[in-house]
């Protein structure tokens, strides 16, 4: 074993995040760390990378007892990490990002050309050929992720930790990443892999360790643990929840005047002019690859960006949405895919985050009475099972899935007529995913129109009455959901196989 | 005990107590408050009276900083408001008429509101970085004040005007009452309405706030107007206290003291969560520090250095990282021995 963690304990005020967890990692293996949000995966990783000190237990690395007091020490000991959200400096060049903190130097001066050459070489190992002197944020999120991996790999790591590396990658890029992981594995690197995509875990992991509520559930060989059993170990109960939704037959809502109708609406460079109608009680799914214009379309309907062509009518009346606020007064809500930067306000409490949109709509002079706030927040914390169920906790301390629920609650209390949700289930666990899907179905049954944006086709298929398929920033096809529509059919359109 | 130390106001209060206590050592009658001619006298009263302008400026600065901005122009706005007031009073046929003086005060504050709007416009509408946007008025404002006074120090003799900075009401200094009222107004404005929450939201994440439907632009303009108005009142207090308008001395470097007060009070310069009580404490600490330097007998030429040292100590005490480094080591040793 290259890494052996025994009886790890980590306590935060009021929470035991890790309770006597054992974890071991062999050289040349890909080991998946599994668990729901808040199970302790992130904490375990942060302990391993020296971000947190432990309150109990032992860490042995290469047979020696270690205790890290900072990320740098862990790095020097041979533990490299690529975090869930790209953790680089967007304003520096690609080469600088790869070599920051360990630039090739001569007489104390940085050798820029040498650095660029090395950067080029290390990216070439990942089959990536980009301009390494260009600023990092001029590239897509997927490329940035690859750069982060290049940096980690280049540190000559004994242990490489990949925390949700695939959540912003498309299929080809995932394959590319897996190829790299296999190569590293052959070079005897131990890889710790965290992902919410079970298929990916089963495709690549040799073994897995399952955590639940900060406790170790067990260590298994992937081959010995069927997918359904894994999920029930993760959530601690059988998986009826997910299946129930699948059985549910979705009734097509009564037609009539659409709630919202976009005609030739478009914005240069973001999304080509498109036509779209959404009726009350209807769930419209937006399918397409990352960067196909899904988010851009949604933002136009919310007034977050202004269209430069076409018209929008709401209830048959022409409407101009020049700001999110305009859209909100028309009863439209939008929950962004970028939870952290465009959704939650981390330093505010759960309560404050939930009432924020409602309060904004009322204006600052009419505060929501505290009792009413507590009522609303209480109801939604319960209904959406936000955990921990403490409205006065800072939102940034919650796990990703719970932050997502807070955002949903924020919009639901404004009682919107059209709810636009962009990737609400990305990076969150199976249990929470099922809850959110069920909620969307319920809301639509209650007469709310929903525009559901997701990269997961199964999810879109399960929930939508109508599916809009996007490709290359263009709405290419509208499919009415039915027996003849399945994931393959949508994939074909996305891939450009079917002429609309 | 730990909860007490964790409270965000613990360290500012502790420092203030230590400062006041050290005064007791050096001057016996520091805490003596006497009643002379119906006025309260004593060093403590002095602290309250002399804190007033800084408290006012720090209040505005707190709100600006909460939005993630900064206002460097407050000192210049102080100078402008004092200059305009003294100029207008000098032109009055009867400078002792209370109504007329009140009109003059109103005019000076309205002018400050206009300058606040200007700052807000630059920051919120044109999108100029706050530090640059307000730097413009910081530099230009002194020039405007000099233009108003004709480049001279304007002396005025007006008993109603003098009340603002040097008068007493029910034995209590009027300037203190003004500052107290301003604190009450700010607390009411931010915590009794939703303004505080929206401010913190905008400061915490402007993008997320916009997508939550908050009109960040209006709120931003509002805080700069607010800061300028309070700076204007501070300018009036200052100029009334000395019965003159000195365009160079009025509010000189007060923007730095105000920023310091806000930071000492526990509001982060990056915006978001703010503490009005903290900023008020910060302002009182800084004033006490100035007075302590005199009462302890720190030589005039080293006063600034003395102040700097105390500020560094306070900042270190407030830093969780620093405390963890110093005290964490003890704690670690203790667990080992146990």
Best of B186, B211, B321, B336 to disrupt the A interface (most A CBs within 10 Å) is: B211
User: Distance (Å) from the C-alpha of residue B42 to the closest C-alpha of chain A?
Assistant: 41
Average pLDDT score over chain B: 88
Q: Does B321 touch chain A (CB under 8 A)?
A: no
**Has residue A249 got a pLDDT over 80?**
no
What pLDDT was estimated at residue B3?
65
What pLDDT was estimated at residue A243?
52
What residue of B is the nearest CA neighbor of A395? Answer: B204
Q: Highest mean pLDDT range out of A307-316, A420-429, A434-443? A: A307-316
A302/A312 Cα distance (integer angstroms): 11
B91-94 CB contacts, 8 Å cutoff, 24+ apart:
B92/B158
**Has residue B331 got a pLDDT over 60?**
no
Query: What class is the A246-495 domain?
Result: alpha beta
Place of tokens 């050459």: A117
Q: Does A304 sit within 8 Å of B211, measured CB to CB?
A: yes
Tens-place pLDDT, residues A50-82 = 888 888 899 998 888 988 888 888 888 888 888
Average pLDDT score over chain A: 85
What residue of B is the nearest CA neighbor of A56? Answer: B335
Structural domain spans, chain A: 3-237, 246-495
Q: Does B205 sit within 8 Å of A341, measured CB to CB?
A: yes
Q: Does B209 sit within 8 Å of A347, measured CB to CB?
A: no
A404/B288 Cα distance (integer angstroms): 48
Tens-place pLDDT, residues B269-314 = 888 899 999 999 999 999 988 888 887 778 888 888 888 887 788 7
For residues B117-133, average pLDDT: 95
User: Distance (Å) from the C-alpha of residue B160 to the closest C-alpha of chain A?
Assistant: 35
Contact between A6 and A57 under an 8 Å Cβ cutoff? The reply is yes
Q: Highest mean pLDDT range out of A41-55, B84-98, B105-119, B308-322? A: B105-119
Q: Does B270 touch chain A (CB under 8 A)?
A: no
Spell out where A409-497 has E strands: 418-422, 449-453, 466-471, 474-480
- Check residues A488 and B167 and name the one with the higher pLDDT: B167
Closest C-alpha to B62, from B191, B175, B238, B165: B191
What pLDDT was estimated at residue A496?
66
**Has residue B338 got a pLDDT over 50?**
no
User: Distance (Å) from the C-alpha of residue B212 to the closest C-alpha of chain A?
Assistant: 5
> With contacts defined as CB-CB under 8 Å, which chain B residues touch A365?
193-194
What residue of A is the nearest CA neighbor of B197? Answer: A352
* Predicted ipTM > 0.85: no
B270/A276 Cα distance (integer angstroms): 41
Peptide bond before A388: cis, by omega within 30 degrees of 0?
yes
Closest C-alpha to A143, from A80, A200, A196, A97: A97
Query: Is there a common fold for A3-237 and A246-495?
Result: yes
| CATH number belonging to domain A3-237 | 3.40.50.300
Residues 6+ apart with CB under 8 A from A400: A37, A339, A427, A428
Q: For the CA atoms of A160, A166, A171, A177, what is the dihedral angle to 10 degrees?
A: -10
Tens-place pLDDT, residues A364-390 = 999 999 999 999 999 999 888 888 889
Give the C-alpha distances (Å, rounded to integers) separating A476 from A469, B218, B251, B279. Answer: 6, 40, 64, 57
**Could you give the count of Cα atoms lying within 13 Å of A440 in the half-sphere of its Cβ?**
32
Give me Rg for the CA atoms of chain A.
24
User: Distance (Å) from the C-alpha of residue A215 to the closest C-alpha of chain B?
Assistant: 25
C-alpha triplet A88, A94, A98: angle, nearest 5°: 65
Closest C-alpha to A81, from A233, A194, A248: A194
Structural domain spans, chain B: 41-319
Structure tokens at B214: 């908050």
CATH fold label, B41-319 = ABC transporter involved in vitamin B12 uptake, BtuC (1.10.3470)
Grouping H, G, I as helix, E, B as strand and the rest as coil, residue B40 is strand
Q: Which of A302, A304, A359 sits opposite B197 (nearest CB)?
A: A359
Q: Does B211 touch chain A (CB under 8 A)?
A: yes
> How many contacts, defined by CB atoms under 8 Å, are there between A and B?
83
3-state percent helix, strand, coil for chain A, nearest multiple of 5 = 40, 25, 35
């Amino acid at each position: 074993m290259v890494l052996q963690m025994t009886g790890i304990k980590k306590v935060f005020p009021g929470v035991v995040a890790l309770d006597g967890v054992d974890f071991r990692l062999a050289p040349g293996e890909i080991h998946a760390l599994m668990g729901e949000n808040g199970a302790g995966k992130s904490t375990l990783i942060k302990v391993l990378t020296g971000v947190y000190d432990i309150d109990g237990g032992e860490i042995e690395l290469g047979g020696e007892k270690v205790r890290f007091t900072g990320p740098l020490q862990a790095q020097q000991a041979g533990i490299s990490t690529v975090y869930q959200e790209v953790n680089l400096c967007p304003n520096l060049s690609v080469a600088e990002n790869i070599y920051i903190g360990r630039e090739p130097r001569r007489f104390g001066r940085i050798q820029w050309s040498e650095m660029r050459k090395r950067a080029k070489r290390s990216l070439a190992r990942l089959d990536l050929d980009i301009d390494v002197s260009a600023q990092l944020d001029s590239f897509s999120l997927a490329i940035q992720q690859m750069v982060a991996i290049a940096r980690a790999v280049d540190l000559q790591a004994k242990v490489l930790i990949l925390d949700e590396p695939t959540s912003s990658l498309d299929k080809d890029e995932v394959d590319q990443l897996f190829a790299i992981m296999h190569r590293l594995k052959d070079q005897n690197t131990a890889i710790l892999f965290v992902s919410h995509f079970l298929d990916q875990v089963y495709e690549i992991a040799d073994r897995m360790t399952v955590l639940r509520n900060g406790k170790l559930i067990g260590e298994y060989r992937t081959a010995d643990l069927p997918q359904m059993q894994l999920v029930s170990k993760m959530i601690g109960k059988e998986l009826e929840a997910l299946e129930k939704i699948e059985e549910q037959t979705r009734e097509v809502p009564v037609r009539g005047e659409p709630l919202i109708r976009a005609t030739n609406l478009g914005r240069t460079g973001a999304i080509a002019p498109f036509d779209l109608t959404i009726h009350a009680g209807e769930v419209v799914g937006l399918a397409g690859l990352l960067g196909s214009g899904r988010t851009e379309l949604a933002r136009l309907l919310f007034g977050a960006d202004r269209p430069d062509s076409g018209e929008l009518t709401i209830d048959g009346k022409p409407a101009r949405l020049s700001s999110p606020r305009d859209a909100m007064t028309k009863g439209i809500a939008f929950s962004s895919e970028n939870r952290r930067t465009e959704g939650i306000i981390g330093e505010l409490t759960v309560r404050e985050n939930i009432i924020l949109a409602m309060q904004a709509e009322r204006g600052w002079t009419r505060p929501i009475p505290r009792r009413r706030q507590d009522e609303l927040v209480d109801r939604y914390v319960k209904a959406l099972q936000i955990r921990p169920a403490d409205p006065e906790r800072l939102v940034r301390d919650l796990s990703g899935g719970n932050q997502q629920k807070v955002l949903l609650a924020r919009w639901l209390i404004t009682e919107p007529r059209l709810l636009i949700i962009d990737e609400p289930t990305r990076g969150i666990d199976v249990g929470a995913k099922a809850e959110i899907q069920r909620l969307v179905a319920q809301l639509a049954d209650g007469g709310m129109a929903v525009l559901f944006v997701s990269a997961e086709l199964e999810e879109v298929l399960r929930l939508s009455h109508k599916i809009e398929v996007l490709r290359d920033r263009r709405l290419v096809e509208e499919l009415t959901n039915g027996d003849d529509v399945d994931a393959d059919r949508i994939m074909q359109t996305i891939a450009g196989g079917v002429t609309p | 005990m730990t909860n007490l130390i964790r409270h965000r106001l613990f360290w500012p209060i502790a420092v203030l107590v230590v400062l006041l206590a050290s005064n007791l050592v050096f001057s016996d009658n520091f805490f003596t408050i006497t009643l002379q001619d119906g006025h309260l006298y004593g060093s403590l009263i002095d602290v309250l009276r002399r804190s007033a302008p800084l408290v006012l400026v720090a209040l505005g600065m707190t709100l600006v900083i909460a939005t993630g901005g900064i206002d460097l122009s407050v000192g210049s706005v102080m100078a402008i408001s004092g200059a305009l007031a003294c100029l207008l009073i000098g032109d009055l046929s009867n400078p002792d008429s209370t109504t007329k003086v009140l009109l003059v005060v109103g005019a000076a504050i309205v002018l400050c509101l206009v300058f606040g709007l200007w700052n807000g416009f630059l920051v919120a509408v044109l999108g100029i970085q706050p530090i640059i946007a307000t730097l413009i008025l910081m530099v230009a404002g002194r020039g405007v004040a000099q233009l108003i006074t004709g480049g001279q120090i304007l002396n005025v003799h007006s008993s109603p005007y003098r009340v603002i900075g040097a008068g007493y009401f029910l034995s209590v200094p009027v300037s203190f009452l003004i500052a107290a009222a301003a604190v009450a107004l700010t607390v009411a404005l931010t915590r009794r309405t939703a303004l505080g929450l929206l401010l913190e939201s905008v400061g915490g994440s402007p993008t997320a706030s916009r997508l939550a439907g908050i009109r960040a632009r209006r709120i931003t303009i509002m805080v700069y107007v607010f800061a300028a108005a309070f700076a204007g009142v501070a300018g009036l207090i200052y100029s009334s206290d000395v019965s003159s308008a000195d365009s160079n001395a009025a509010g000189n470097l007060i923007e730095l003291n105000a920023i310091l007060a806000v930071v000492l009070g526990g509001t982060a310069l990056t915006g978001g969560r703010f503490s009005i009580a903290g900023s008020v404490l910060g302002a009182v600490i800084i004033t006490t520090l100035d007075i302590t330097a005199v009462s302890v007998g720190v030589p005039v030429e080293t006063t600034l250095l003395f102040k700097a040292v105390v500020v560094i100590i306070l900042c270190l005490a407030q830093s969780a990282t620093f405390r963890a480094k110093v005290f964490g080591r003890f704690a670690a040793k203790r667990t080992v021995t146990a």
